[in-house]
Structure 1
Amino acid sequence: MINGGKFSLKYTSSGVFTLLLCTLTLLASGNYHKSTKFYKPFLQVRDTIPVKRDTVPVKRDTIPLKRDTIPQVDTTNKQTDSLRSKFQLIDTLNVKISKDSLDAPVSYAASDSMVLDVHTKKITLYNSANTKYKDLDLTAYKIELDQTSQTVVATYMVDSTGNLVGKPKFLQGESNMDADSIIYNFKTQKGITKSTFTQQGEMFVYGERIKKVNVTDFFALKGRFTTCNLDTPHFAFRTNKMKLVNQKLAVSGPIHPEFEGVPVPIYIPFGFFPLSQGRHSGILPPQFTANEQFGLGLEGLGYYKVLSDMFDMMLRADIYSYGGYRLNLTPTYRKRYRYSGRMNLAYQSTRILSDDPEKEFDVSKSFNIQWSHMADAKARPGTSFQASVNAGSTQYNQFVGVNPTINFQNQLYSSISYSKNWDNKFNLSLNAGHDQNSNSRLINVRLPDGSFTVNNFYPLQQKEFVGEAKWYEKLGIGLNTQFRNQVSFYDSAMSMNQILDTLQWGVQHNIPITLALPSLGPIQVSPGMSYTERWYSSHFDQNWNPALNKVDTSFTKQFSAARDIAFSLGVNTAVFGTYNKFGKNSRVQAIRHVIRPQVSANYKPDLNGKDYKTVQVDSTGRTIRYSKYQGTLYGPFGEGEFGGMSFTLDNNLEMKVRSKKDTTEEGIRKVRLLDGFGVTGSYNFMADSFKLSTFNFYLRSTLFEKVNITASATVDPYKTDRQGYRVDEYAWTGGGFSLGRLTSGNIAISTSFTSQKSTSKEQVSQVQDDLASAALPMTLEEQQAQLNYVRNNPAEFADFDIPWSVNLSYSLSFTRFLKGDYSGYETQISSSINVSGDFNLTPKWKIGANTYYDFQGSSLQQLTMFLSRELHCWQLGINITPVGLYRSFNITINPKSGLLRDLRINRTRYFYTQ
C-alpha cells in the first residue's frame, strides 16, 4: 500500500508556476520601492529553507484528506500537530540571515531596457542607467550588477558620431567622480575607476586609475591636479602616485608643474595640499623682496593656528638681510550672533641704511597695537559695544617696509564706545579714545568721555487722549549732559607729573524746551528756549609783556562754570511756483521752483561778558578780545547781548521733460536742476557794532544725473583796513555796490562715465552684502590700508566686465585766516584735479591710469598706471607709479584660486624720494 499523496497535473502546474514567479520576483526586487515588510521575510525564506523541506508540503496536502475521512485516528492528529508546529516555525522566519546578504536594498532603473540572467544572477541596465545603494548614487549608460559578488560595473558608449554617451558618474557622500569605467563592491565599499575626474574643494584632480579603499580614502596612479576648471587645463601639477583623503588633504610623491601641457623641469620631492573647506592650521609661505633700505628679505613668513571654532591666531614675521625684523601676532575671535573682533600686536626692530655719513645703519625699536571689536545688535537690544584702536610708538609707521603708503600717515586714532538705551527714554553713552601725531609726537588720551540724554517728554500731556491734544500739551523738555576727560603728553618725555599737569576735564548740560504750536494755514510757528551750562577745570590769562614785546599766558587750575540762555521764535513756510508755457512741441513741459523761507527772532542775554578781556597783541597798541576759557574742551560762550533776527532762504528747482520716443504721460520725467541753493545770515539789533553777520551761500546739484556739484561761500559785508582787520562799515557804502568780501569758499565737481556692466546690480549687491556679513570688523587704519592697496595695485582688481570707465573730480577751496603774529590776514588757496579711468584693449587685456594734479603747486602729485591680463585661472598685473611721494614698480603673476594664492611670482621695487 502506498501512503504517499496523489499527484494531480493541475496542482503540479500551479506549484511550478508559483515557484518560478517567486524566483523572478526575488531577483527583480531592486526595482520596487524600499519596504522592510517585503524583502526581509522573502529573503529569509529563500536563504534558510532547505531543499529537503520541499516534500513536506506534499505530505501536508494529503494529511488533511486522511484527517477528514478517518477522524478517529489519534496518531494522525499527532502527526498533523507536529507538522503544524514545523510550519509555524517557518512562517515566523526565526532563522539566521546569510552573511552574504546586503544590509540595505539596491534601487535601480534604466530608460531603455533591463536584462536579467537568472543562472548567473546578473542584471544589466542600458541607457540612463541609475543604481542607488544607501548614500551611493551611480549613473552611466550601462550598469551591470552581479548579485553573487555584490559588484557593480559602469561604462559608457560611443555613438555613431564618435561622442561619448552616458559617461559614468559616481556620487557617495562628499565624493563626486566622473570616469570612463567604474567597478565598485557594495559590501567592501571598495572600487577602481579609470580616467577619473573629481573635484576636491577648489582642486580638480585627474587620475588614470584611482582606487577607492573606503568611504574617504583614495589612491591615484599617474595623477594630475589643478585649479583650472577646463577639460584641458592651462596649468597642472603631475605626479605618479598620490593619496586623497576626501575634502581634507592630498599627499603626493615627486611632482612637477606643466603649462599648456608642456612640463617644466622643476621637481618637488613631495606635495601636501589641504583640501578641507573653511579654516585649518598650516604654514604661511613667505614672499621674497628686495628693498634698498632694508636689504633682501622674506616677508609674511608665519603660521596660522585654529584653536577652536570661535578663536584662531596667526603669527607672521618679516626678516631682512641688514638685521631688521618685524613680528605680528593676530588673534581673531567670533561668536555667531554675539560679537566678533580681531587684534594685531606688532613689534619691529628696524635696521636700515643711514643718511648720516658717520654711521652705516639707523637702529630703532617700535611697537603698534590694533584692536577692532563689534557686537551684534541682535545680541542685546538696546546695548552696543564697539572698539577701533590703533596705538603705539609714534615712529612705527615710518619704518614699515611692507606697506610704504602708511609711511606718510602721521595721525593715529582710537575709539571705544558703549551705549545703553532704556525704552527710548534715556540713553547713556561712554567713550574712550586717543589720537597721536607722528611728527609732533603729541598724544591725547580721552578717558572717559560720555553723555547722558533724556529724550523730550511732555509734562502737561494727558495720560489718556480724549479728542485732539491741546496746544500747551505739546510742551517738551529734554536733557543732554556731556562730559569729557583728556590727558596730553609727548611720548619722548612722558611722566606722571606731565600727565597730571595736562589733565583736563569738562562738563556741558543742555536743556532744550520746545513747543509745537498749531499751524496758521501755510505758516508754521515754533517757539523755543535753550539753557546751557558748562563746567571747566581751568582757565588762563593773557598779558602784554612790553620788555619782550610778546603776549604772556598763565594757566590756573580751578573749577569754574559759565551759563548761557537763548530764546527763539521761528516762522517757516513754503512757496511753490510753476512755469509751464513752453508750447506743445517743446520737450520741456514745466519748471517748478520751491522757496522755503525761514525767519526766527532770537534773544540771548549777555551772561558771559565778564569772562572776556582785552589784551594788547603788538607794539602798535592793537588789541583783541579773548575769553579765559579759550582752548578748553568745550570752549567759551560768545560774549555780548544778542537780540535780533536770523534768516534762511532755501530753494529747489526741478524740470519736467518729455521723452523723444514716448509721447504719452508716462514718457514725462522729472529732472533735478538744483537740489538746493540758498543763503543764511542774522542781524543783531542790540549790538554796538558789526550788527550784520556774514552771509553763507550754498549750492548742491546733480546735473543730468551724472555731474555732482557742491559749493559754498562765506561773504563778509564789512570793509577792512590795510592789515585785513574788519571796520564797522558796510561794503556797499561809499560808492559802488558790493555784497562784501569772500572770506572762504569751496567748490567740488565730480562725474563718472561707465559702460554697461554684464553683472546685474542685484548680484553685485548680494555679493557685497555676503562679504560684509562675513567680514570681521576693522579699524579705520586697516580699512584705509586696504583702500590704499587697491589704489596702488589696481591691476589685481581689474573688472573685465566693464569695457571702459572714466572718473573726473575737481576741487577748489580758499580761506582767510589770522596770522600767528597778529600782523594781519592771509589767504590760502588749494586747487586740484583727479582723473582716473581704464578700458579693455581686448577682452583679455585692460589698461588704466590714475593721476592727481595740484594747480597751486603747478605739479603732478601722483601718477599710477596699470596693465592687467586675464588668463582664465591666472592673472597678470603690472603696476607702475612713476610720480608721487614714493615711486614703485611691481609685476605679479599668480593663480586666482584662494588655495594657491601664495603660489605667485612677484617683483617689486620701491624708489623713495627725499
Structure 2
Amino acid sequence: MLPIVACGYLLILTFLKEANASAVFYQQTVRFAAKDTIPVKNLKDSSTRKKDSLVQKKTTDSLVAKTDTLRISKDSIDAPINYSATDSGVLIIDTREFLLYGKAKTTYKDLQMEAATIRYDQQSQMVKAYGSLDTSGNPLSKPQFIQGELKSVSDSISYDMRTNKGRTVNTFFQEGEIYVNAQVLKKISADEAFASKARFTTCNLDTPHFAFRTSRMKIINNKMGISSAAFPEFEGVPMPIGIPFGIFPLYKGPQSGFIAPAFTASEDFGLGLEGIGYYFMFNNYLDLTTRANLYSYGGYMVNFNSRFLKRYKFTSNLNLTIQNSRLLNRSGFSKDEFTRTRSFMINWSHSRDSRARPGTSFSANVNFGSTRFNQLLLNNPYQNFQNQLSSSINYTKDWRGKYNLSVNANHNQNNNTRLVNLNLPTVNFNVVTFYPFQKKDQVGSGKWYEKIGIGYSGNIQNQLSFYDTAFNIRRMLDTLQWGAQHNIPITLSLPSLGPITVAPSVSFEERWYGQRIFRNWNNTAKKVDTSIQRGFYTARQMAFGISLNTRVFGTYTLKSKDTKIIRHEVRPSLSLSYRPDMAAKYFYDTQVDSTGRKLRFSQFDGGIIPGFSEGAFGGIGFGIDNLLEMKLKDKSDSSGKATRKIKLIDGFGFNSSYNLLADSFALGNFNFYARSTLFNTINITAGMNIDPYDVSAKGDRLKQLAVDFKKLRFGRITSGNLAISTSFSSKSKDGSDGKEKDIPIDPFMTPDEQQRQLQFARANPAEFTDFNIPWTLSLSYSLNFSRVLKPDYSGFETQTFSSVSFNGDFSLTEKWKLGGTGGLDVKNRKLEQLSMFITREMHCWQLSINVTPIGLYRSFNITINPKSGILRDLRINRSRTFSNSRF
C-alpha cells in the first residue's frame, strides 16, 4: 500500500509544482483514499509498518504487473484542457476535483475561462469560476468566459462541458453593437442564451447614458436578440413609456430585413410616412432595397435600388424612383382642390474593373427623368435647385496603343426650359501618330523625312431633342441631326534651335452633315423663317502652320530682413498659319428686319457640328503665358539654409491672332486669363474676351478699332467670368491641421451611391458634424456675363449670372454646435436658399435640428436617436414642411 500512497503524493506534488500542462483523467483500477494523508488503519506501529511494507511491496508489485492497464472512462472529456495558475493547483483524488488558485486560466476547445478560482469536477464535468475580493470587501477581479467572439464578465460562472450549458450571475457581455447586463444568464447551447432582468444599450461606458430594461431576453449569437417589453432609462432614471417588444439584428454582414419609416408633415403633401421599406439580400453579389413615401393627401413615392457587385469584375447600381404627387392647390387659379403630378427618375451607374478585360472598358452614369422630379422632393434643398441633368455611357477599346475606339451615348436636359437632348451614339476612332518613312532598325538620329508623322481622328454624332411637356415620337424624329468629321494631322519633329522649339504642321479636315439650314425674310409676317433640307452634305478645310515656343526666366531680389527672391517665368508662343477659303460657297446673306439690314449666315449654322469659318486666313497667332513665384527662407528649418517656394500667380496671360490676308477685321479677339491661390486658401480664376472692334447701335461690328488711350479703353468686352472660393477652419482639439474631415465612403460603393451619400450629408449636416474642429467657414463667389445677339437680331444684350454661397459652423460649447449653408442670387438680390442646423453631442446619442427657412420648401426637422446603426430606428423624429411655390 505504501508505494500507491507514495505515487499519490508524487501526483499531487506534480500538480502543485507544474500548473501548466494538459490534464486527461482516467478511471483507474486502484482507487485513492478519500483523504490526502495515509489512512490510520494502515499505521499499527513502526515495526509492523516496516514489515507490512515489505510484504505489501511484493504483493503490490505482482498486482501492478497484472492490472497496469488504463481504461478511458465514459465520463471523461473528449479534448485536452490547457490550464495555468499563478498560485497553486490542488487535486482532490477521492472526489476527482481539481482546483486552480490565483489568476487561473483554462482553455478547452474554443472555450476560455479566466478567474481568481476555478473548480473542475470530473464526475459531473462541471466547471465553476469565482472572483476575488480586496481587503475592503469590494470585487478585485471577476471571472471571464470567452467562447468564439462572445466574451462575458460575471460574478460567478457554472458551465457543463458535456451539454455546453451554463449559468452566470450578474453578467456583462457584448453582442455585436449591443452591451448587455443580465442578473442571471443561462446558456442553453453554444449559440443561444436566455437573460433574466437584463439591461441592454449601445453605450460603451461602464455607467451608460441610456439603456433599455427588460425582464426577459433571448440572444441568438450572430443572428438576433429578442426582448419582452422594454422600458428606457436615461442617466439611470426610468421612463414610463416603453416598447412592447424588441427585435435586434446581430448579423455580422448584410441581411434581409425591414426598414423602419419616419413621420413627417407638409402643407402640400399632408401627413407622411417616409422611408418605409424592405431590404432583400439575394446573395453576396446582388441586393435590392425598396422604399416608399406615403402621404395623407394621396400622393406617394416608390424607390427601387439594386446593386450588383463582383470584386475585380465590375460594380453596378440601378435606382428607379416613381413619384405620384398629389398636392394641395393653394394658388387659387384652379377649381380642383388638388394638383396631381407624375414624374420619375432613373439613375444607373456601372464601372468595370480594368483588370477584367485589359484593353477595353465600359462605364455608365445615367441620370434621366422628368424635369419636375427634383422640384417635388421634400427636405432636399440641394437637389431642388439642381436644374441640369446629364448622362453618359462609354465603351472604349485599345489596340496595343496604335488605335483606339470609343462609343458614347450622352444625354443632357435643362429642368427650367424642359429641353432634353439625346446623343445616340457618338463614335470616335483615333489612329495614334505613326511615322511611315521611319526605318524599323534605325541607327542614329535619322533623316528629316523619317520624322514626318501622320495621324487620324474621326467622330460621328447623332442627336435627338424634345420637350418633355410635349413629347411625341414623330416630333422627336423630326429633330434628328447627324454629322461626322475627319481630321488628318501631319507633323514634323525638328530639332530645337537653341531655346526655341519649332513644330511645323499640316492638317486636312472634312465634315459631313445630314442637313442644311436656310434663313429667309418673310415680308408678310415681318420675321425670319427657317427651313431645313435633309440629305448628305460635305465641307472641307485645310491648314498649314509652324509654331515656335520658348521659355524666359527672370529673378528679382527684394532687400528685406529675410531675403526674398521673386522668380518670373514667361512662356511666349508664336505661330504662322495659312488657311485657304474653302467654305465661302456655304455662306449667304439674309435680310433680318424691315429696314433691309442683312446678316451673313452659314448653311451649317445650328447643326450638331458647326460649320467652318468663312474667309482665308494667313496670319500670325501669338500669346504669352506667365508664372510668378517667390522663394524665401524656411523659418521652420533650424539650419537657416532651407528655402521654400510660394506661388504668387499660378498663371496669367493672353492669346490672339492677326490675319494678314483680311481686308478688314484683321485683328482677332483677345482672350485674357488668370488663376492664383493666395495664402494657400483663396482660389481665384478669371477670364474675359475682348473684341478690338467697335459696334453700331444695333450691334453690327464696325471696321474701326474700339481703342481710346485717353479713356483707357482697349476694346469691347464680350464675355467674362470670375470665381473666388476660400475656406477657413480653426485648429483641431487633437492638434491636427484642422481641416474638415471627409465623409467616409466605402470604396466598393458605386459613384452614384457615393454622390447620394454626399448629398445626404449636405442635406443633414447636423448628423455629420466634427466636434473636434471648433469652427469652419467656406465662401464662394461666381460671376459670368456675355453679350449675345437678341432673338430679333436688333442688337446685343448682356446676360449676367452672379451668386454667392456660404457654409460654416462653430461650437457654442464643447457639446453644442451651430451651423448653416445658403446661396444668394446677386443679380436679383435675393437669398435663394438658407439652411441652418444645431446639434448636441451626447456620446452615444445625438440631437440634431435642421431648419430651412428659405428655399423651394421651408422645413424643420428635430431628431433624437442613438448613433449606433442597430438602434437608429429607435428615434424621436418631428418634421414639418411648408411650400413657397405654387404648382
TM, length-normalised to structure 1 = 0.88
1:813 aligns with: 784
Q: Report the CA distance between 1:645 and its aligned residue.
A: 0.9
Name the CA shift for 1:311/1:139 in 2 (closer, same or farther; >3 Å): same
Residue 31 of structure 1 corresponds to: 20
1:165 aligns with 2:140: yes
Cα 1:406/1:579, change in 2 over 3 Å: closer
In the aligned structure 1, how far is the partner of 2:779 from the partner of 2:416? 33
1:106–1:131 CA contact under 8 A, matched in 2: yes
Secondary structure of 2:240's aligned partner: coil
How many angstroms apart in 2 are the aligned matches of 1:842 and 1:550? 68
**Structure with greater proportional helix content:** 1
Q: CA deviation at 1:399?
A: 3.4
Please tell me whether the aligned partners of residues 596 and 651 of structure 1 are also in contact (alpha carbons under 8 angstroms). yes
1:341-371 CA distances to partner (integer Å, 9 max, x unpaired)? Answer: 2222233332221234512112243333222
Instruction: Give a deviation string over 1:119-142, Cα, whole Å, max 9, x none.
Output: 443333333321111111112233
Matches within 5 A, 1:215-226: 215-226=190-201
Equivalent position of 1:511 in the other structure: 488
- Of 151-160 and 417-426, deviating more is 151-160
2:697 equivalent to 1:708 = no
Percent identity of paired positions between Structure 1 and Structure 2: 50
Q: Does 1:723 align with 2:698?
A: yes
Matches within 5 A, 1:275-424: 275-354=250-329, 355=331, 356-401=333-378, 403=380, 405-424=382-401
Query: Please, which of 859, 884, 887 is the counterpart of residue 913 of structure 1?
Result: 884
Distance 1:517 1:579, change over 3 A: same
Q: 1:477 aligns with which of 454, 462, 466?
A: 454
Equivalent residue number for residue 165 of structure 2: 190
* Matching of residue 860 in structure 1 with residue 831 in structure 2: yes
Say which is worse superposed, 16-25 or 449-458, in terms of deviation. 16-25
Superposed displacement of residue 225, structure 1: 1.0
1:547 and 2:521 correspond? no
| Kept in 1: contact 2:493–2:503 (CA 8 A) | yes
Instruction: Provide the C-alpha distance between the structure 1 equivalents of 2:307 and 2:79, rounded to a whole number of angstroms.
Output: 46
2:872 paired residue number = 901
1:429 matched to 2:403? The reply is no
* Most deviating of 736-745 and 605-614: 736-745
- Spell out the pairing of 1:57-72 with structure 2 (5 A cutoff): none
Q: CA deviation at 1:440?
A: 4.2
Distance 2:468 2:30 in 1: 95
The CA distance in 1 between the partners of 2:493 and 2:73, in whole Å, is 91
SS across alignment from 1:869: strand
Match of 1:577 in 2: 554
Deviates more, 1:852-861 or 1:222-231: 852-861
Secondary structure of the 2:870 match is helix
Distance 2:305 2:287 in 1: 9
Which moves more between the two structures, 890-899 or 336-345?
A: 336-345
Question: Does the Cα contact within 8 Å between 2:485 and 2:512 map onto a contact in 1?
Answer: yes
Q: Amino acid of the residue matched to residue 838 of structure 1?
A: D
Q: How many residues align?
A: 862
| SS, match of residue 796 in structure 1 | helix
Aligned to 1:773: 747
Residue 42 of structure 2 corresponds to which residue in structure 1?
none
Q: Determine the structure 1 residue equivalent to 2:155.
A: 180
Cα offset, 1:555, TM superposition: 0.4
Q: Report the CA distance between 1:398 and its aligned residue.
A: 3.9
State the alpha-carbon separation in 2 of the partners of residues 439 and 661 from structure 1. 54
- For 2:672, the equivalent position in structure 1 comes to 697
Q: Contact conserved, 1:854 with 1:861, CA < 8 A, in 2?
A: yes
The secondary structure found in structure 2 opposite 1:131 is strand
> Are 2:604 and 1:629 equivalent residues in the alignment?
yes
What is the CA deviation profile of residues 851-908 of structure 1, one whole-angstrom value per residue up to 9, with x for unaligned ones? 4333322333333222111011111111222233332222211111111222222222
- Does the 8 Å contact 1:341/1:777 carry over to 2? no
After TM superposition, give the deviation of residue 13 of structure 1 in Å.
Answer: 7.2
Distance 2:433 2:20 in 1: 75
Give the CA deviation at 1:30: 6.9
2:116 matched residue in structure 1: 141
1:674 to partner: Cα distance: 1.0
Label 1:759 to 1:539 Cα distance change in 2 as closer, same or farther (>3 A): farther
Q: Which residue of 2 aligns with 1:522?
A: 499
CA offset at residue 622 of structure 1? 1.9
Question: CA separation of 1:164/1:686 partners in 2, compared to 1, >3 Å: closer, same or farther?
Answer: farther
Partner of 2:543: 566
Residues 30 and 107, structure 1, Cα contact 8 Å, conserved in 2: no
**Offset of residue 634 of structure 1:** 1.4
- For the 8 Å contact 2:16–2:88, the answer to whether it is kept is no
- Distance in 1 of aligned mates of 2:91 and 2:739: 55
What TM-score comes out, normalization by structure 2 length? 0.91
Residues 127 and 159 in structure 2, CA contact (< 8 A), matched pair in contact too = yes
Assess, with a 3 A threshold, how the Cα gap between structure 1 residues 802 and 60 changes in structure 2: closer, same or farther: closer
Q: Is the 8 A contact 1:431 1:450 kept in 2?
A: yes
**How has the CA–CA distance of structure 1 residues 907 and 140 changed in structure 2, closer, same or farther, with 3 Å as cutoff?**
same
Between the aligned partners of 2:730 and 2:379, the Cα distance in structure 1 is 35
**Closer, same or farther in 2 for the Cα pair 1:48/1:641, shift >3 Å?**
farther
2:816 pairs, out of 835, 840, 845, with 845
Structure 1 counterpart of 2:125: 150
| Secondary structure of the corresponding residue to residue 771 of structure 1 | coil
* 1:766 Cα deviation after fit: 11
Shift of 1:565: 1.6
Corresponding residue of 1:640: 615
User: Aligned-pair distance for 1:693?
Assistant: 0.7
Of the structure 1 ranges 379-388 and 401-410, higher mean CA displacement relative to structure 2 is found in 401-410
Q: Which runs of 5+ in 2 are unaligned?
A: 33-54
Once the two structures are superposed, the pairs formed by residues 778-793 of structure 1 within 5 Å of their partners are 778=752, 783=755, 786-793=757-764
- Tell me the amino acid that sits aligned with residue 369 of structure 1: I
- Equivalent residue letter for 2:777: V
Q: Output the CA distance in 1 between the equivalents of 2:706 and 2:205.
A: 77
Instruction: Compare relative contact order (CA 8 Å, sep 6+) and give the higher one, 1 or 2.
Output: 2
**Shift in Å at residue 336 of structure 1?**
1.7
Whichever residue aligns with residue 515 of structure 1, its letter is L
Change in CA separation of 1:884 and 1:656 when aligned onto 2, cut-off 3 Å:
same
Matched with 1:798 is 769
In 1, the alpha carbon distance for the partners of 2:442 and 2:184 equals 84
Alignment partners' CA distance in 2, 1:857 and 1:391: 30
Work out the CA distance in 2 between the residues paired with 1:756 and 1:764: 8
Sort the Cα spacing of 1:746 and 1:499 in 2 relative to 1 into closer, same or farther, 3 A.
closer
Question: Secondary structure of 1:899's partner?
Answer: helix
- Residues 500, 818 of structure 1: CA spacing in aligned structure 2 closer, same or farther, 3 A cutoff? closer
Amino acid in structure 2 at the alignment position of 1:832: S
CA distance in 1, matches of 2:182, 2:842: 25
Shift of residue 593 of structure 1? 0.9
Partner of 1:795, secondary structure, is helix
- 1:77-107, Cα deviation, whole Å (9 max, x unpaired): xxxxxx99x97xx88x7x7532111111111
CA contact (8 A) 1:128 1:166 kept: no
Counterpart residue identity of residue 510, structure 1: N
Post-superposition shift, 1:193? 1.2
Aligned to 1:4: none
CA contact (8 A) 1:809 1:835 kept: yes
Residues in 1 aligned to 2:167 and 2:872: alpha-carbon distance in whole angstroms:
33
Unaligned 5+ segments in structure 1 are 1-11, 63-82
Contact 1:416–1:431 under 8 Å retained in 2: yes
Find the residue that maps to 2:752 and give its secondary structure.
Answer: coil
Match of 1:502 in 2: 479
- C-alpha distance in 2 between matches for 1:809 and 1:439: 24
Q: What residue number does 2:96 align with?
A: 121
Residue 557 of structure 1, CA deviation: 0.6
Match of 1:461 among 413, 429, 438: 438
Cα distance between partner residues in 1 of 2:712 and 2:302: 67
Alignment partner of 2:450: what SS? helix
C-alpha separation in 2, matches of 1:18 and 1:446: 95
Q: Deviations over 1:545-569 (max 9, x none)?
A: 2222211111011101111221221
* Alpha-carbon distance in structure 1 between the residues aligned to 2:699 and 2:248: 73
